[in-house]
Amino acid sequence: MRRLLAPSLILAATLAAASAQAATPKDALVMAWNLDALITLDPAQIAEVNGNDIMRNVCSRLVRFNIADPSKLEPEIAESWSSSEDGLTLTFKLRKDIKFPSGKAATAHDAVWSLKRAIHLNFGNAANLTEWGFTSAKADEQIRAVDDHTIEVKLPQPYPTGLIVSAAFTSNVSSVLNKETGEKNAKTTDGRSDYGNGWFKTQSDCVGPYKVRTWNANDVLILEANDIYFGEKPGLRRVLIRHVPESGAQRLQLEKGDIDVGRLLSSDDLKALATNKDIHIEQTVMHGYSYFAFNAQDPILSNPKVRLAFRYLVDYEGLERTVMAYQGKARNSLVPIGAFGALDEKAGLPFKLDLDMAKKLLTEAGYPNGFTKKYILSANAFNPAVAQHVQANAAKVGIKLELEQMADANLFTKMRAREFEIGQIGWGAGYPDAHSMVSRHAQNPDNRPEAKLAQYPTWRSAWVDPKVNDMAAKAMMERNDAKRIAAYHELQKYMLENGPMAYMFQTVRPIAIRKEVKGFQIGAFEVRYRSASK
């Protein structure tokens, strides 16, 4: 027994000494998040929420959204921009005081290299440029540095300036990377350069308020202030993002003060934290949706009246208060509140739970006794509860929904392959303009199976409407703002009645923050770490 006593006392002393440490460092912001999906830090490749959020604080873009009102644009690396009379040339004037963390001056040549690199690499993010007609073959003519501080962009069409700048030059691909670092670390395989992708995947060398110091995948990511950043200096020297995948554990750490910010908390944990006077919960309405999509290849679901009937099977506001608390805001229109061209809150939520109306529409469609359909969904978060709600209401009007839960990767694969009847899924708009959603959720350039336009949810739903394609194309090219807004309003109203998706909730992003953290600015498209202080 005495032999066990000594080690026990040492352990107790060790624990007592170690547990005396409390709170987070004064000069650091400590966040907890689920970093499972974070697989790259290369701005040309990032395709998920965490990477986008983090790298906006590491690599500044040419232009940024106003954090409070994202429909307004602000200068960032570009101090100004202008469009030629014919609308076919965009000119960006860059700041003269931009430097990489090493102290080397950043120039328009670095910015142009970064833009063209994204096009050549052709990861998902390249679509921010390629869908406007920029191509790998023509990139040298389309994007060029006039001098060290001027970029000239030749547009294939005279797009409205606000739209093209918002869509292409606020995105990850407009981050200014160090060309020298990229070229030095580039690897060529089968005659194809990776433009330093292997290096930029795990490290950073770009113009921005923070630089990546350490990244231990699925453990911790540490950012350090870039002392020679041109803009507002970071209030805290370091940002530590810890991988804490379990909501309950995050909540305990937040309550105890071992983290400053909790980024992935369940509704139940948020409800519990809401009563804690040391913690504030910031809810941001995002430009994304939870919705269910119908596959129009199915003869029953191709009937617009059937799809309309489904829209009356959801108690939107009831779910918003319960299952979707802190997670979603009821909305049916495909353009999110806060985006240019969106219907207002009332017009954007015309549906409510109305079983009689649903039954009437089903009868008119020729299915008074209902039918049976498979309904696939993600097993994550609120999805099962929402699907069960839809299932229960559908049963009341004779529709039998067979729910099948699956991993996200499996769900995406099935929907991209058109292998579903009804699928519940989410989508995030890339920029706060109606076109971002309309171009994917209303337009469908080619509905043939062999076109494989899996990036278009309309194609996934095998739904196309030439009238909608035409309305969307006209709205996009309209250079008069008032007329453009009116065109999008008309299109949204049409889609509410006819579209292949039943939108339920605009995504809400809850972030729980300890009260010691001041000035933490949170927007729909950016969480500004540098504004935080203690």
Partner 1 sequence: MSVTDVNQPRETISRRPEASKIPPWAWDAWRIVSSVAVTLLGLLALTFFIGRMLPIDPVIAIVGEQADASTYDMVYKQLGLDKPLYVQFLYFMGDMLRGEFGNALFMGNKVSADLMRVFPATIELATIAITIGVFVGIPIGVLAAVYRGSPIDHFARIIGLLGYSVPTFWSGLMGLVLFYAILGWVGGPGRLDVFYIDIVDRVTGLLLVDALIAGEWEVFQNAVSHIVLPASILSFNAIAFISRLTRSFMLAQLSQEYILAARVKGLSKWKVIRKHAFRNIAVQLLTIVALAYAILLEGAVVTETVFAWPGFGRYLVSGLLAGDMNAVLACVLIVGIIFVSINLICDLLYRILDPRTK
Query: Quick one: which of 244, 273, 270, 240 has its CA closest to 256?
Result: 273
Position among 102, 135, 214, 480 found at the interface with partner 1 (CB under 8 A): 214
- CA angle (196, 197, 201) in 5-degree steps: 120
Give 183-232 as a DSSP string.
HHT--EETTEE-TTHHHHTT---BSSSEEEEEEETTTEEEEEE-TT-SSS
> Which residue number, 27 or 140, has a Cβ lying nearer to partner 1?
27
Question: At its nearest, how many Å lie between partner 1 and the CB of residue 28?
Answer: 7
Question: At its nearest, how many Å lie between partner 1 and the CB of residue 259?
Answer: 8
Judged by CB under 8 A, does residue 421 bind partner 1?
A: no
**93: three-class secondary structure by DSSP:** strand
Region 245-284 residues binding partner 1, contact defined as CB under 8 A: 245-246, 248-249, 252-253, 255-256, 258
Judged by CB under 8 A, does residue 198 bind partner 1?
A: yes
Judged by CB under 8 A, does residue 409 bind partner 1?
A: yes
CA dihedral of residues 281, 282, 287, 292 (deg, nearest 10): 10
**Contact status, residue 241 vs residue 54, Cβ threshold 8 Å:** yes
> Which residue number, 126 or 343, has a Cβ lying nearer to partner 1?
126
Which DSSP state fits 35? Answer: -
Judged by CB under 8 A, does residue 126 bind partner 1?
A: yes
Query: Quick one: which of 162, 93, 167 has its CA closest to 130?
Result: 167
In the numeric block, which tokens belong to residue 392? 């229960």
> Which residue number, 17 or 482, has a Cβ lying nearer to partner 1?
17
Region 93-122 residues binding partner 1, contact defined as CB under 8 A: 122
**433: three-class secondary structure by DSSP:** strand
Using alpha carbons only, how large is the chain's radius of gyration in Å? Answer: 25
Judged by CB under 8 A, does residue 498 bind partner 1?
A: no
Region 424-443 residues binding partner 1, contact defined as CB under 8 A: 427, 440
Judged by CB under 8 A, does residue 414 bind partner 1?
A: yes
Judged by CB under 8 A, does residue 15 bind partner 1?
A: yes
Judged by CB under 8 A, does residue 350 bind partner 1?
A: no
Cα separations (Å) of 349 from 396, 400, 493, 504? 23, 26, 11, 9
Select from 91-99, 268-276, 295-303, 410-418 the region that touches partner 1 (CB under 8 A). 410-418
Question: At its nearest, how many Å lie between partner 1 and the CB of residue 455?
Answer: 4
Binding stretches for partner 1 (CB under 8 A): 11, 14-19, 21, 24-25, 28, 30, 32, 36-37, 39-40, 47-48, 122-127, 198, 201-202, 213-214, 216-220, 222, 240, 242-246, 248-249, 252-253, 255-256, 258, 407, 409-410, 412-414, 416, 427, 440, 452-455
